[in-house]
Structure 1
Amino acid sequence: MTPTVSANNDLDAVIGIDFGTLSGRAVVVRVSDGAELASAVHEFRHGVVETALPGSGRPLPPDTALQVPEDYRRVLRDAVPKALAASGVPPERVVGIGTDFTASTPMPVLADGTPLCELPRFADRPHAYPKLWKHHAAQRQADRVNEVAERRGEPWLDRYGGRISAEWQFAKALQVLEEDPEVYAATERWIEAADWIVWELCGAETRNVCTAGYKGIHQDGRWPSRAYLAELDERFADFAADKLAHPLSPLGGLAGRLTARAAAWTRLPEGIAVAVGNVDAHVTAAAAQAVAPGRLLAVMGTSTCHVMNGAELARVPGMCGVVKDGIVPGLWGYEAGQSGVGDIFGWFVDNAVPAEYAAEAAGRGIGVHELLSERAAARPVGAHGLIALDWHNGNRSVLVDHDLSGVVAGLTLATRPEDVYGALVEATAFGTRTIVDAFEGAGVPVREIVVAGGLVRNPFVMRTYADVLRRPLKLIASDQGPAVGSAIHAAVAAGAYPDIQAASAAMGRVRPEPVEPDQERADAYDELYAVYTDLHDHFGRGGTDALHRLRRIRNAAASR
């Protein structure tokens, strides 16, 4: 029997699951008003596989970032039942389940969905594993993807601001072909983890328009041509036709029904609605009520993804992509991003803060991030004399170059840890302003900025961003935006709402008071932003290739 939505949906609930970089979170949400009833988290046992393969210990080359599919399944087996039990909602009142994933996180699988890394003959082969979004080892392949596309005048290149990222499907698949052709030959389907987990839930392969458009170069109903792919590599000519091609499903659509196997994992009723897969940032737009044109959503965590709907199509240099129906059906969805934000702050705290700071923070019962934020906030804008470039994990937008690296300029013997920490926060804010400027310079107005993600909990970070951007920031009311967004999509797939916009209006939430900019601080940041732009263009737009040379030297040394 297929469960149905009750006439009184005050009784009904949906499950949203957010598969992140290090963990998966399940949240139980009431259909009628979006109230969060309970949640649970499952930490990935293997986390991010960066230095050696699990089991064999085989060393991995620089810039590798892999994951283990069984970690994803464990979220279904562990977090979902725990969240459901904590919510007190009877299982029979759950009408749908929705999921979101980091992207691009593609993986090679057999025709039945079995990951190649789970086959004994490929367990010791790095390219048989899912490549996490932060896998940047395919930059060389991405350079060729771009060079050939530009030379041929491929019409889809403008939809991505003129650059295809090393983080996306085609560069990563080309790396597999070139470095392990046996794994490539055994790959019957090359699929985003966002779609693979839906396959695990409903037992059928589906492909969502979001990952296909933003991460798979699917535009105007077509993949890149066979002739283009053959020019990249003759063996790659049939990549799209053989390993990608599949009808695309709309966001908020019904992917299928929960199978008996997945029902046993999750303790949910067999046959409930399974929503079409989605990307973590894009699905959060519904939870943050950021689905109207001109409302930019910044999802700020380890990295930041910026998504916004527009009524018209425009070319925005350096964007991750613009896709019709890519966030909600009927509108053009724009995406940009920064490859490192919270990761940069975490790197600094973990590696460059003296022990006495940690001792003071512990003595006061606060975290080191909180201590550094407090001290940095007490300084006048510009007093540290520093400018940083936020490229510790490469640049996603607007330069689309993952061989770039971080820079801190202006260091003296008087520089303190809070000064560097503050400069790093400011650098990420300047990076977001660069993206906003690119939108508006291309004629795509940014009328409002909404922020979601873990960093909304840091008042210093939010105040810095408001001042740098010279705009009020609306903050999402939920700490679990992606999971709630997935739950909202599940409600649409289950038939509780006619579309994502209606479900967002009923179930999404923002805080009533925005973070307002301070005019004096904003004026001072304008001066620093001008210096940031000088360094940004010098190191990133051809003033010097010093950062690329350093990357080549490092990689050569690491391979010896």
Structure 2
Amino acid sequence: VEAADWIVWQLTGNETCSACSAGYKAFWNHCSGYPAPDFFKALGPKMEHAAEKLGKVISPLGERAGGVTAEMARRTGLREGTAVSVGNVDAHVCVPAAGISGPGKLLAILGTSTCHMVLGTEGKRVPGVCGMVKDGILPGYFGFEAGQSCVGDLFSWFLNACLPASCREEAFARGKSLHEYLREKAQKLKPGESGLLALDWWNGNRSILTDGDLTGLLLGMTLQTRPEELYRALIEATAYGTRILVENYREHGVPVEEFVAAGGISRKDPMTMQIYADVLNTPVQIVGTHQGSAFGSALFGAVAAGRENGGFSHILEAAERLGKRGNTVYDPVSEHTAVYDRLYGEYKQLHDYFGRGGSNVMKRLKALSREQKQK
């Protein structure tokens, strides 16, 4: 049982299976159901009959799963009978909180990793995109999901593994966090000034290569390279990775007309969001709530309660009435976008060479590392 569905089950006493969880977590399809036994058997012989144990009745998002039981009311402090919506996934539930109620608006949640979600009116096959689920994000639309498996984690790795003690001491003396200290220095750099270029695969590549054995790459270092230059190059790499995903959506018939950002990085790091706007050559709009997933959950709960109880009749209505788009917008700077277009071209060459079979050196190095560690 998916954890989100299990929690709803405990709250209401009714076992449900969310279309979001089933589609994105278990490859359920609205036409054909779960994958055939051969698919699960290929993953592992003991998994051949896994589909028989998964939920058979798939519940649409926003549907009322039931009411809070007397026991759970006692344990949680909620009122008995309070409406409970079917389960959802942390990233996907943020979409209506961002005021998104239709196609063409991509929501990227930037944190330790990044999830990129967009709605479409047709079920398109988008290579390298793991999730495409009808009614999986908002009812009435196909929900597309791609992602980067290392974003904020990459910046933290640099601070923890690579930052000189002198930088830490200076930041402490100035009363700044390490991120604030590095941003202050890095934002003074012009695009391309450092001569650095990175591939953002420190935790493999989720989309669009879907290859966990790929690793990071940092190119162009000299004896003059400074920590803030490395830091900015890693941030730029994640922006290039996002551009790959956006272009992949567009190339395969899923329009992306607006770019909306949520998550901690979007609110805490203006430099990073400006770099994203410049790399994408698209305005980046920031969601107007600090807790997008919690707020989106409340919206779905209001739909489960229904209009008769002061809620809403449909999640699209809730998104349009209460979804929050903040006043902060980062517009691309033309002289920056011209340079980033050139850098992105170089990134794309490295991306395809190391990610599409030009060289498997990353995998050979990982294999050798495992071999030596096992001795």
Q: Same fold judged by TM-score > 0.5?
A: yes
Q: Which residue of 1 aligns with 2:190?
A: 380
The CA deviation string for residues 425-476 of structure 1, in whole angstroms up to 9 with x for no partner, is 0000000000001011112111101000000120011000000000001100
Residue in structure 1 matching 2:279, options 457, 468, 485: 468
The reply on whether 1:532 has 2:347 as its aligned counterpart is: yes
The CA distance in 2 between the partners of 1:208 and 1:313, in whole Å, is: 19
* Matched residue, 1:267: 77
Kindly report which structure 2 residues correspond to 1:451-462, keeping only aligned pairs within 5 A, or say none: 451-456=261-266, 457-462=268-273
Shift of 1:502: 0.6
**1:161-209 Cα shifts (integer Å, max 9, x gaps):** xxxxxxxxxxxxxxxxxxxxxxxxxxxxxx2222222223223322111
Write the mapping of 1:117-516 to structure 2, written as runs, cut at 5 A.
191-219=1-29, 220-230=31-41, 234-241=45-52, 243-456=53-266, 457-495=268-306, 496-516=311-331
Deviation at residue 531 of structure 1 after TM alignment: 0.8
User: Which residue identity is paired with 2:276?
Assistant: Y
Find the aligned partners of 2:66 and 2:292 in 1 and give their Cα distance: 24
| 1:513 CA drift (Å) | 4.0
Write the mapping of 1:69-80 to structure 2, written as runs, cut at 5 A: none
Conservation of the 8 A alpha-carbon contact between 1:290 and 1:450: no
What letter corresponds to residue 555 of structure 1 in structure 2? R
Give SS of 1:213's match. helix
Q: CA RMSD in A?
A: 1.5
Question: 392-401 or 265-274, which moves further after superposition?
Answer: 265-274
Q: Hey, what's the Cα distance between the residues in 2 that align with 1:392 and 1:265?
A: 42
Gaps of 5+ in 1: 1-190
1:553 is aligned to 368
Displacement of 1:245 in angstroms is 3.3
Q: Assess if the C-alpha contact under 8 Å between 2:100 and 2:320 holds in 1.
A: no
Question: How many equivalent residue pairs?
Answer: 369
**Residue 511 of structure 1: SS of its match in structure 2?**
strand
| Separation of aligned partners in 1, 2:315 and 2:370 | 45
CA distance in 1, matches of 2:164, 2:72: 48
Structure 1 distance, partners of 2:329, 2:255, is 20
CA distance in 2, matches of 1:263, 1:296: 38
Say whether the 8 Å CA contact 1:389–1:427 is kept in structure 2: yes
Distance in 1 of aligned mates of 2:226 and 2:71? 56
Q: Confirm or deny: 8 A CA contact 2:101 2:320 kept in the other structure.
A: no
Distance 1:500 1:415, change over 3 A: same
Amino acid across the alignment from 1:529: Y
Deviation at 1:530, TM superposition (A): 0.7
Measure how far apart 1:276 and its partner are.
1.1
The whole-number CA distance in structure 1 between the counterparts of 2:85 and 2:111 is: 24
Residue 264 of structure 1, CA deviation? 2.8
The DSSP-based 3-state class of the residue aligned with 2:351 is helix
Q: 1:232 to 1:484 in 2, by over 3 A?
A: closer
Structure 2 unaligned regions, length at least 5 = none
TM-score (structure 2 length as normaliser): 0.95
Aligned positions of 1:51-90 closer than 5 A: none
| 1:522 and 2:337 are equivalent in the alignment | yes
Cα contact 1:201–1:258 (8 A) shared by 2: yes
Distance 1:266 1:360 in 2: 47
Deviation string, structure 1 residues 225-261 (Cα, Å, up to 9, x no partner): 13444455553321111x2132111111112221233
Aligned partner of residue 451 in structure 1, secondary structure: strand
